[in-house]
Homo-oligomer: A and B are copies of this chain.
Amino acid sequence: MGADHHGNRYGRSEAARQAVLEAADDLLVEHGFAGLTIEKIAARAGVAKQTIYRWWPSKVDILLDAFGDDMAKALTPADHGSLAADLREHLAAVADFLTTNDAGAVYRALVGQAQHDPALAARLRDTHLAAQHLRDRLPFDRALARGELSPTLDLDLAVQRLMAVVHYRVLVTGEPVSREFTDPLVDSFLPTLPL
């Protein structure tokens, strides 16, 4: 690619792609979703508008792309050996992701936009949410393998019951979701599980 580079026949410019994604991320965090325009992204990234329109149909597509694997990286629950420990850590991680992480800001913006954009909603679920659900379920899968849980338990519902509370407080009520909230939540939740 050399120093500044201006395109070639076989393939797009990875430098331009990265510049756009970073510019979009920065502008979202700095000026919010409303302050995020293609015009500004292009200016900030030092890229022509056409280059953006060539590769991304809309600004939410840029965000989806910028979002990338950030969620997987931030929200893959580690194995602490017990369901309680796993869930405590994971819920804290989810809360942290949603409220303080840059990628979490992108996530919230996308979920917000998905409320008035069904196509985005579908892509968001297919691309990220389905995979994240599987990661959210990992502690339960491991607990089940360890024999900590009854095989009759509806794992998917159990997962949702925990994740929902954190999301509800962040997306709807706006209440804080500190460790002082999530740890007792897990502790009061576990005894309600069969076995």
- A residues within 8 Å of B by Cβ? 32-34, 108-109, 111-117, 121-122, 125, 129, 133, 157, 160-161, 163-165, 167-169, 171-174, 185, 191-192
Interchain CB contact under 8 A, B167 and A172: yes
Interchain CB contact under 8 A, B167 and A121: no
- The quantity of this chain's copies bound in the complex is 4
Interchain CB contact under 8 A, B160 and A111: no
Minimum C-beta distance from A170 to chain B (A):
9
Interchain CB contact under 8 A, A116 and B34: yes
Interchain CB contact under 8 A, A116 and B32: yes
Question: Closest chain B residue to A193 by CB distance?
Answer: B192
Q: Report the separation of the CA atoms of residues A111 and B174 in the bound assembly, to the nearest whole angstrom.
A: 11
Minimum C-beta distance from A41 to chain B (A):
16
Contacts of A169 in B (CB 8 A): 160, 164
